[in-house]
Chain A
Protein backbone atom coordinates (compact mmCIF):
# COMPACT_ATOMS: atom_id res chain seq x y z
CA UNK A 1 0.00 0.00 0.00
CA UNK A 2 1.23 3.53 -0.78
CA UNK A 3 1.04 6.23 1.88
CA UNK A 4 -1.30 8.35 -0.25
CA UNK A 5 -3.76 5.45 -0.48
CA UNK A 6 -3.96 5.05 3.28
CA UNK A 7 -6.73 6.35 5.49
CA UNK A 8 -5.82 7.57 8.97
CA UNK A 9 -7.84 8.44 12.07
CA UNK A 10 -6.32 10.90 14.54
CA UNK A 11 -7.88 10.96 17.99
CA UNK A 12 -6.77 13.53 20.56
CA UNK A 13 -8.76 15.88 22.79
CA UNK A 14 -6.12 18.56 22.22
CA UNK A 15 -7.05 20.51 19.11
CA UNK A 16 -3.41 21.56 18.78
CA UNK A 17 -2.08 17.99 18.87
CA UNK A 18 -4.82 16.82 16.48
CA UNK A 19 -4.36 19.60 13.94
CA UNK A 20 -0.54 19.38 14.01
CA UNK A 21 -0.62 15.64 13.41
CA UNK A 22 -3.29 15.89 10.68
CA UNK A 23 -1.35 18.67 8.95
CA UNK A 24 1.81 16.57 8.83
CA UNK A 25 0.00 13.40 7.71
CA UNK A 26 -1.69 15.42 4.98
CA UNK A 27 1.73 16.72 3.85
CA UNK A 28 2.74 13.06 3.28
CA UNK A 29 0.04 12.84 0.63
CA UNK A 30 -2.56 11.00 2.74
CA UNK A 31 -5.97 12.19 1.55
CA UNK A 32 -8.39 10.39 3.86
CA UNK A 33 -7.80 11.73 7.34
CA UNK A 34 -10.48 11.59 10.03
CA UNK A 35 -10.44 13.39 13.36
CA UNK A 36 -11.93 12.53 16.74
CA UNK A 37 -11.80 14.63 19.93
CA UNK A 38 -12.59 11.89 22.46
CA UNK A 39 -12.48 8.11 22.80
CA UNK A 40 -16.15 7.49 21.96
CA UNK A 41 -15.96 9.62 18.82
CA UNK A 42 -12.89 7.60 17.80
CA UNK A 43 -14.79 4.31 18.17
CA UNK A 44 -17.72 5.70 16.15
CA UNK A 45 -15.47 7.06 13.38
CA UNK A 46 -13.47 3.84 13.25
CA UNK A 47 -16.64 1.75 12.76
CA UNK A 48 -17.85 4.18 10.10
CA UNK A 49 -14.60 4.49 8.10
CA UNK A 50 -12.37 1.49 8.96
CA UNK A 51 -9.12 3.50 8.61
CA UNK A 52 -5.79 1.74 7.95
CA UNK A 53 -4.13 3.43 10.91
CA UNK A 54 -5.22 5.17 14.11
CA UNK A 55 -3.20 7.56 16.27
CA UNK A 56 -4.83 7.54 19.71
CA UNK A 57 -4.17 9.71 22.78
CA UNK A 58 -4.75 8.09 26.19
CA UNK A 59 -5.92 10.83 28.57
CA UNK A 60 -9.22 12.03 27.08
CA UNK A 61 -12.73 12.88 28.28
CA UNK A 62 -15.83 10.66 27.77
CA UNK A 63 -13.85 7.42 27.41
CA UNK A 64 -10.08 7.08 27.62
CA UNK A 65 -7.84 6.07 24.75
CA UNK A 66 -7.28 2.62 26.32
CA UNK A 67 -11.05 2.02 26.54
CA UNK A 68 -11.49 3.23 22.95
CA UNK A 69 -8.65 0.94 21.84
CA UNK A 70 -10.34 -2.03 23.54
CA UNK A 71 -13.66 -1.32 21.76
CA UNK A 72 -11.95 -0.83 18.38
CA UNK A 73 -9.98 -4.10 18.68
CA UNK A 74 -13.19 -5.92 19.75
CA UNK A 75 -14.83 -4.62 16.58
CA UNK A 76 -11.79 -5.23 14.35
CA UNK A 77 -9.02 -7.45 15.80
CA UNK A 78 -6.72 -6.40 12.93
CA UNK A 79 -6.97 -2.67 13.72
CA UNK A 80 -3.65 -0.81 13.68
CA UNK A 81 -3.96 1.52 16.64
CA UNK A 82 -0.86 3.52 17.62
CA UNK A 83 -1.08 5.00 21.09
CA UNK A 84 0.32 8.53 20.94
CA UNK A 85 0.40 9.83 24.47
CA UNK A 86 2.39 12.07 26.77
CA UNK A 87 2.02 9.48 29.52
CA UNK A 88 4.22 6.57 28.50
CA UNK A 89 4.40 5.10 32.00
CA UNK A 90 4.90 1.37 32.60
CA UNK A 91 1.23 0.95 33.57
CA UNK A 92 -0.03 2.73 30.46
CA UNK A 93 2.36 0.80 28.22
CA UNK A 94 1.24 -2.51 29.73
CA UNK A 95 -2.44 -1.55 29.47
CA UNK A 96 -2.01 -0.47 25.84
CA UNK A 97 -0.19 -3.66 24.84
CA UNK A 98 -2.74 -5.81 26.70
CA UNK A 99 -5.61 -4.04 24.93
CA UNK A 100 -4.02 -4.67 21.52
CA UNK A 101 -2.11 -1.49 20.60
CA UNK A 102 0.14 -1.91 17.56
CA UNK A 103 2.73 0.55 18.90
CA UNK A 104 3.26 3.32 21.46
CA UNK A 105 4.70 6.77 20.74
CA UNK A 106 5.65 9.08 23.58
CA UNK A 107 4.74 12.75 23.07
CA UNK A 108 6.19 15.02 21.83
CA UNK A 109 6.11 12.96 18.65
CA UNK A 110 8.49 13.88 15.84
CA UNK A 111 7.40 13.99 12.21
CA UNK A 112 9.97 11.29 11.45
CA UNK A 113 8.34 8.95 13.97
CA UNK A 114 4.91 9.50 12.40
CA UNK A 115 6.22 8.95 8.88
CA UNK A 116 8.14 5.82 9.89
CA UNK A 117 5.09 4.41 11.68
CA UNK A 118 2.81 4.96 8.68
CA UNK A 119 5.40 3.49 6.31
CA UNK A 120 5.67 0.42 8.54
CA UNK A 121 1.90 -0.03 8.53
CA UNK A 122 1.83 0.45 4.75
CA UNK A 123 4.53 -2.24 4.36
CA UNK A 124 2.70 -4.56 6.74
CA UNK A 125 5.59 -4.49 9.24
CA UNK A 126 3.24 -3.33 12.01
Chain B
Protein backbone atom coordinates (compact mmCIF):
# COMPACT_ATOMS: atom_id res chain seq x y z
CA UNK B 1 0.00 0.00 0.00
CA UNK B 2 3.02 2.34 0.38
CA UNK B 3 3.23 2.38 -3.41
CA UNK B 4 -0.27 3.86 -3.77
CA UNK B 5 0.55 6.56 -1.22
CA UNK B 6 3.90 7.25 -2.86
CA UNK B 7 1.93 7.90 -6.05
CA UNK B 8 -0.40 10.21 -4.12
CA UNK B 9 2.62 12.03 -2.69
CA UNK B 10 4.11 12.59 -6.16
CA UNK B 11 0.78 13.92 -7.37
CA UNK B 12 0.14 16.20 -4.39
CA UNK B 13 3.63 17.67 -4.73
CA UNK B 14 3.03 18.36 -8.44
CA UNK B 15 5.96 16.12 -9.40
CA UNK B 16 3.80 14.11 -11.83
CA UNK B 17 0.40 14.68 -13.41
CA UNK B 18 -2.73 12.54 -12.93
CA UNK B 19 -2.40 11.32 -16.50
CA UNK B 20 1.26 10.32 -16.09
CA UNK B 21 0.46 8.51 -12.87
CA UNK B 22 -2.52 6.65 -14.36
CA UNK B 23 -0.37 5.57 -17.31
CA UNK B 24 2.46 4.46 -15.01
CA UNK B 25 0.09 2.45 -12.80
CA UNK B 26 -1.19 0.72 -15.91
CA UNK B 27 2.29 0.01 -17.29
CA UNK B 28 4.19 -0.90 -14.13
CA UNK B 29 3.27 -4.59 -14.40
CA UNK B 30 5.52 -4.77 -17.48
CA UNK B 31 8.38 -2.83 -15.90
CA UNK B 32 11.71 -4.43 -15.04
CA UNK B 33 13.48 -2.80 -12.16
CA UNK B 34 16.92 -1.47 -13.10
CA UNK B 35 19.96 -1.61 -10.90
CA UNK B 36 20.35 2.18 -10.92
CA UNK B 37 16.96 2.81 -9.30
CA UNK B 38 17.64 0.09 -6.71
CA UNK B 39 21.06 1.64 -5.94
CA UNK B 40 19.50 5.11 -5.50
CA UNK B 41 16.81 3.69 -3.24
CA UNK B 42 19.44 1.95 -1.10
CA UNK B 43 21.47 5.15 -0.89
CA UNK B 44 24.45 3.41 -2.53
CA UNK B 45 24.56 5.72 -5.55
CA UNK B 46 23.39 9.23 -6.29
CA UNK B 47 21.23 10.03 -9.32
CA UNK B 48 24.22 11.81 -10.84
CA UNK B 49 26.40 8.68 -10.54
CA UNK B 50 23.63 6.56 -12.10
CA UNK B 51 23.39 9.01 -15.00
CA UNK B 52 27.18 8.84 -15.42
CA UNK B 53 27.07 5.04 -15.63
CA UNK B 54 24.14 5.21 -18.10
CA UNK B 55 26.01 7.65 -20.34
CA UNK B 56 29.24 5.60 -20.13
CA UNK B 57 27.26 2.48 -21.10
CA UNK B 58 26.57 4.11 -24.49
CA UNK B 59 30.28 3.83 -25.36
CA UNK B 60 31.33 0.79 -23.32
CA UNK B 61 29.77 -2.64 -23.79
CA UNK B 62 29.39 -3.57 -20.12
CA UNK B 63 26.55 -4.31 -17.71
CA UNK B 64 25.46 -1.48 -15.38
CA UNK B 65 26.72 -3.28 -12.26
CA UNK B 66 30.16 -4.08 -13.71
CA UNK B 67 30.60 -0.53 -14.95
CA UNK B 68 29.48 0.96 -11.61
CA UNK B 69 32.17 -1.19 -9.92
CA UNK B 70 34.79 -0.11 -12.49
CA UNK B 71 33.92 3.53 -11.88
CA UNK B 72 34.23 3.01 -8.11
CA UNK B 73 30.56 3.72 -7.29
CA UNK B 74 29.69 0.21 -6.09
CA UNK B 75 31.55 -2.75 -4.60
CA UNK B 76 31.06 -6.19 -6.20
CA UNK B 77 29.15 -7.30 -3.06
CA UNK B 78 26.78 -4.32 -3.42
CA UNK B 79 25.91 -5.46 -6.94
CA UNK B 80 25.22 -9.01 -5.73
CA UNK B 81 23.02 -7.70 -2.90
CA UNK B 82 21.10 -5.37 -5.20
CA UNK B 83 20.49 -8.16 -7.71
CA UNK B 84 18.93 -10.24 -4.93
CA UNK B 85 16.56 -7.46 -3.79
CA UNK B 86 12.88 -8.16 -4.37
CA UNK B 87 11.37 -5.43 -6.53
CA UNK B 88 8.92 -3.56 -4.28
CA UNK B 89 5.88 -2.01 -5.83
CA UNK B 90 6.73 1.62 -5.18
CA UNK B 91 10.13 1.14 -6.85
CA UNK B 92 8.44 -0.36 -9.91
CA UNK B 93 6.17 2.69 -10.00
CA UNK B 94 9.21 5.00 -9.77
CA UNK B 95 11.08 3.04 -12.46
CA UNK B 96 8.05 3.19 -14.78
CA UNK B 97 7.81 6.96 -14.34
CA UNK B 98 11.55 7.25 -15.09
CA UNK B 99 11.16 5.03 -18.19
CA UNK B 100 8.25 7.19 -19.36
CA UNK B 101 10.35 10.33 -18.99
CA UNK B 102 7.96 11.71 -16.37
CA UNK B 103 10.77 11.66 -13.79
CA UNK B 104 14.54 11.87 -14.07
CA UNK B 105 16.71 9.71 -11.82
CA UNK B 106 17.45 12.87 -9.89
CA UNK B 107 13.71 13.67 -9.43
CA UNK B 108 13.20 10.11 -8.23
CA UNK B 109 16.08 10.36 -5.76
CA UNK B 110 14.72 13.61 -4.29
CA UNK B 111 11.13 12.33 -4.17
CA UNK B 112 11.87 8.99 -2.52
CA UNK B 113 14.18 10.57 0.06
CA UNK B 114 11.71 13.31 1.00
CA UNK B 115 8.81 10.81 1.07
CA UNK B 116 10.72 8.51 3.42
CA UNK B 117 11.87 11.34 5.66
CA UNK B 118 8.47 13.10 5.80
CA UNK B 119 6.75 9.92 6.92
CA UNK B 120 9.70 8.58 8.94
CA UNK B 121 9.55 5.29 7.07
CA UNK B 122 12.36 2.99 6.10
CA UNK B 123 12.82 0.28 3.49
CA UNK B 124 11.41 -2.43 5.77
CA UNK B 125 8.19 -0.43 6.09
CA UNK B 126 8.01 0.13 2.35
CA UNK B 127 8.57 -3.53 1.56
CA UNK B 128 6.18 -4.80 4.19
CA UNK B 129 2.57 -4.40 5.14
CA UNK B 130 2.71 -3.64 8.87
CA UNK B 131 -0.73 -2.50 9.87
CA UNK B 132 0.37 0.00 12.53
CA UNK B 133 2.67 1.77 10.07
CA UNK B 134 -0.05 1.78 7.42
CA UNK B 135 -2.53 3.35 9.84
CA UNK B 136 0.01 6.06 10.70
CA UNK B 137 0.67 6.65 7.01
CA UNK B 138 -3.05 7.03 6.27
CA UNK B 139 -3.55 9.34 9.26
CA UNK B 140 -0.67 11.56 8.13
CA UNK B 141 -1.65 11.57 4.45
CA UNK B 142 -5.25 12.64 5.04
CA UNK B 143 -4.57 14.84 8.10
CA UNK B 144 -7.02 12.82 10.22
CA UNK B 145 -5.00 13.85 13.27
CA UNK B 146 -6.94 17.13 13.37
CA UNK B 147 -10.28 15.37 13.94
CA UNK B 148 -11.82 14.14 17.20
CA UNK B 149 -12.20 10.64 15.83
CA UNK B 150 -8.74 10.37 14.27
CA UNK B 151 -8.33 6.71 15.27
CA UNK B 152 -11.66 5.63 13.78
CA UNK B 153 -11.01 7.54 10.55
CA UNK B 154 -7.49 6.13 10.24
CA UNK B 155 -8.53 2.54 10.99
CA UNK B 156 -11.46 2.68 8.60
CA UNK B 157 -9.53 4.30 5.74
CA UNK B 158 -6.66 1.81 6.13
CA UNK B 159 -9.09 -1.10 5.88
CA UNK B 160 -10.77 0.57 2.90
CA UNK B 161 -7.47 0.83 1.00
CA UNK B 162 -6.55 -2.75 1.87
CA UNK B 163 -9.97 -3.84 0.59
CA UNK B 164 -9.45 -1.86 -2.62
CA UNK B 165 -6.16 -3.69 -3.23
CA UNK B 166 -7.74 -7.04 -2.35
CA UNK B 167 -10.99 -6.76 -4.32
CA UNK B 168 -10.56 -4.03 -6.97
CA UNK B 169 -6.85 -3.83 -7.83
CA UNK B 170 -3.68 -2.00 -6.85
CA UNK B 171 -3.70 0.45 -9.77
CA UNK B 172 -4.93 3.45 -7.81
CA UNK B 173 -3.68 6.60 -6.18
CA UNK B 174 -5.32 8.24 -3.18
CA UNK B 175 -5.74 11.98 -3.73
CA UNK B 176 -6.01 14.76 -1.18
CA UNK B 177 -9.15 14.63 0.95
CA UNK B 178 -11.58 17.50 1.34
CA UNK B 179 -14.50 18.24 3.66
CA UNK B 180 -17.96 18.15 2.06
CA UNK B 181 -21.62 18.18 3.14
CA UNK B 182 -23.14 17.05 -0.13
CA UNK B 183 -22.08 15.80 -3.54
CA UNK B 184 -23.44 16.06 -7.06
CA UNK B 185 -22.09 12.78 -8.32
CA UNK B 186 -24.37 10.78 -10.69
CA UNK B 187 -24.20 7.43 -8.88
CA UNK B 188 -23.76 6.64 -5.20
CA UNK B 189 -24.31 3.92 -2.63
CA UNK B 190 -24.51 4.64 1.09
CA UNK B 191 -24.36 2.41 4.15
CA UNK B 192 -24.45 3.67 7.71
CA UNK B 193 -22.75 2.16 10.71
CA UNK B 194 -24.85 2.13 13.87
CA UNK B 195 -24.42 0.88 17.42
CA UNK B 196 -21.63 1.91 19.80
CA UNK B 197 -21.14 4.91 17.49
CA UNK B 198 -22.65 6.11 14.24
CA UNK B 199 -20.86 6.61 10.96
CA UNK B 200 -21.65 7.27 7.31
CA UNK B 201 -19.90 5.52 4.41
CA UNK B 202 -20.55 6.32 0.75
CA UNK B 203 -19.07 5.35 -2.60
CA UNK B 204 -19.80 7.96 -5.27
CA UNK B 205 -18.69 8.19 -8.87
CA UNK B 206 -19.63 9.18 -12.39
CA UNK B 207 -21.74 6.68 -14.32
CA UNK B 208 -18.84 5.15 -16.27
CA UNK B 209 -16.45 5.06 -13.33
CA UNK B 210 -19.15 3.50 -11.13
CA UNK B 211 -19.71 0.76 -13.73
CA UNK B 212 -15.96 0.17 -14.09
CA UNK B 213 -15.60 -0.12 -10.32
CA UNK B 214 -18.56 -2.52 -10.14
CA UNK B 215 -17.09 -4.59 -12.97
CA UNK B 216 -13.76 -4.89 -11.16
CA UNK B 217 -15.48 -6.22 -8.02
CA UNK B 218 -17.83 -8.60 -9.85
CA UNK B 219 -15.11 -9.95 -12.16
CA UNK B 220 -16.47 -12.76 -14.39
CA UNK B 221 -19.95 -12.51 -12.87
CA UNK B 222 -20.37 -8.94 -14.19
CA UNK B 223 -23.54 -8.10 -16.09
CA UNK B 224 -23.65 -4.70 -17.87
CA UNK B 225 -26.76 -3.32 -16.21
CA UNK B 226 -27.12 -0.22 -13.96
CA UNK B 227 -28.95 -2.29 -11.34
CA UNK B 228 -26.11 -4.77 -11.29
CA UNK B 229 -23.61 -1.89 -10.91
CA UNK B 230 -25.46 -0.85 -7.75
CA UNK B 231 -25.53 -4.41 -6.46
CA UNK B 232 -21.81 -4.94 -7.06
CA UNK B 233 -20.57 -1.56 -5.76
CA UNK B 234 -22.95 -1.95 -2.81
CA UNK B 235 -21.61 -5.40 -2.03
CA UNK B 236 -18.05 -4.06 -2.00
CA UNK B 237 -19.10 -1.42 0.55
CA UNK B 238 -21.00 -4.02 2.55
CA UNK B 239 -18.05 -6.43 2.64
CA UNK B 240 -15.61 -3.65 3.54
CA UNK B 241 -17.87 -2.36 6.33
CA UNK B 242 -18.48 -5.91 7.52
CA UNK B 243 -14.75 -6.52 7.86
CA UNK B 244 -14.45 -3.23 9.74
CA UNK B 245 -17.27 -4.26 12.09
CA UNK B 246 -15.61 -7.62 12.75
CA UNK B 247 -12.26 -5.93 13.48
CA UNK B 248 -13.96 -3.55 15.91
CA UNK B 249 -15.75 -6.44 17.60
CA UNK B 250 -12.68 -8.68 17.85
CA UNK B 251 -9.99 -6.12 18.61
CA UNK B 252 -11.79 -3.45 20.61
CA UNK B 253 -14.88 -5.29 21.86
CA UNK B 254 -16.97 -2.58 20.18
CA UNK B 255 -20.23 -3.84 18.70
CA UNK B 256 -21.54 -2.04 15.65
CA UNK B 257 -24.07 -2.94 13.00
CA UNK B 258 -24.78 -1.93 9.41
CA UNK B 259 -27.90 -0.51 7.78
CA UNK B 260 -29.25 -1.80 4.45
CA UNK B 261 -27.70 -0.16 1.38
CA UNK B 262 -29.20 2.99 -0.07
CA UNK B 263 -28.64 3.98 -3.70
CA UNK B 264 -28.94 7.36 -5.44
CA UNK B 265 -28.96 8.09 -9.16
CA UNK B 266 -28.63 11.48 -10.82
CA UNK B 267 -29.62 13.46 -7.78
CA UNK B 268 -27.80 15.67 -5.34
CA UNK B 269 -26.70 13.60 -2.37
CA UNK B 270 -27.26 15.72 0.72
CA UNK B 271 -25.51 14.24 3.72
CA UNK B 272 -26.16 17.02 6.22
CA UNK B 273 -22.93 16.40 8.12
CA UNK B 274 -19.36 17.33 7.41
CA UNK B 275 -17.67 14.33 5.84
CA UNK B 276 -14.23 13.51 4.58
CA UNK B 277 -14.33 13.02 0.82
CA UNK B 278 -11.41 10.85 -0.29
CA UNK B 279 -11.03 10.81 -4.08
CA UNK B 280 -9.17 7.80 -5.42
CA UNK B 281 -7.75 7.87 -8.94
CA UNK B 282 -7.94 4.47 -10.65
CA UNK B 283 -6.66 3.79 -14.14
CA UNK B 284 -10.33 3.75 -15.25
CA UNK B 285 -11.21 7.07 -13.56
CA UNK B 286 -11.95 8.65 -10.22
CA UNK B 287 -14.09 7.20 -7.43
CA UNK B 288 -14.97 9.13 -4.28
CA UNK B 289 -15.17 7.54 -0.83
CA UNK B 290 -17.08 9.67 1.65
CA UNK B 291 -16.87 8.96 5.39
CA UNK B 292 -18.07 10.55 8.59
CA UNK B 293 -17.33 9.19 12.06
Residues of A that sit less than 8 Å from B by CB: 13-17, 19-20, 23, 59-61, 85-92, 106-108
Would you give 22 A-B contacts (Cβ < 8 Å), ordered by A? A13-B260, A13-B261, A15-B231, A16-B218, A16-B228, A19-B223, A59-B238, A59-B260, A61-B260, A86-B239, A86-B242, A86-B243, A87-B245, A87-B246, A87-B258, A88-B242, A89-B245, A89-B246, A89-B255, A90-B255, A106-B246, A108-B239
Q: Are A88 and B234 in contact (CB under 8 A)?
A: no
What's the Cα separation between A91 and B259 when bound, in Å? 15
- Contacts of B64 on A, CB cut-off 8 Å? none
Which chain B residues have a beta carbon within 8 Å of chain A's beta carbons?
167, 217-218, 221, 223, 227-228, 231-232, 234-235, 238-239, 241-243, 245-246, 248-250, 253, 255-261
Contact of B258 among A17, A61, A86, A108 (CB under 8 A): A86
Query: A14-B238, A59-B238 provided; 18 other pairs, C-beta below 8 A?
Result: A14-B231, A15-B227, A16-B218, A16-B232, A19-B223, A59-B259, A60-B260, A86-B241, A86-B258, A87-B245, A88-B242, A89-B245, A90-B249, A90-B253, A92-B257, A106-B246, A107-B238, A108-B167
Residues on B with beta carbons closer than 8 Å to the beta carbon of A14: 231, 234-235, 238, 261
Q: Which residue of the partner chain, among B227, B250, B258, contacts A59 with CB atoms under 8 Å?
A: B258
With contacts defined as CB atoms under 8 Å apart, how many contacts are there between chain A and chain B in the complex? 71
A60 to B234, CA, bound (A): 13
Q: Complex Cα distance A108/B243, Å?
A: 9
Whether A16 pairs with B221 at a CB distance below 8 angstroms is: yes
B242 contact from A15, A19, A87, Cβ within 8 A: A87
- Across the interface, B221 reaches (CB within 8 A) one of A19, A61, A92, A106, namely A19
Nearest to A15 among chain B residues (CB) is B231
Tell me the smallest distance from the CB of B117 to a CB of chain A, in Å.
38
A93 nearest CB neighbor, chain B only: B249
CB-defined contacts of A89 to chain B, threshold 8 Å: 245-246, 248-249, 255-257
Residue of A nearest to B167 (CB): A108
The CA of A91 and the CA of B260, in the complex, are separated in Å by 18
Q: Are A20 and B221 CB-contacts (below 8 A) given A86-B243, A87-B246, A106-B246?
A: yes
Residue of A nearest to B230 (CB): A15
Bound complex: CA A89 to CA B241 (Å): 11
Residues of B within 8 A of A59 (CB): 238, 257-260
In whole angstroms, how far apart are the Cα atoms of A28 and B167 in the complex?
A: 24
The docked-state distance in angstroms from the alpha carbon of A25 to that of B235 is: 19
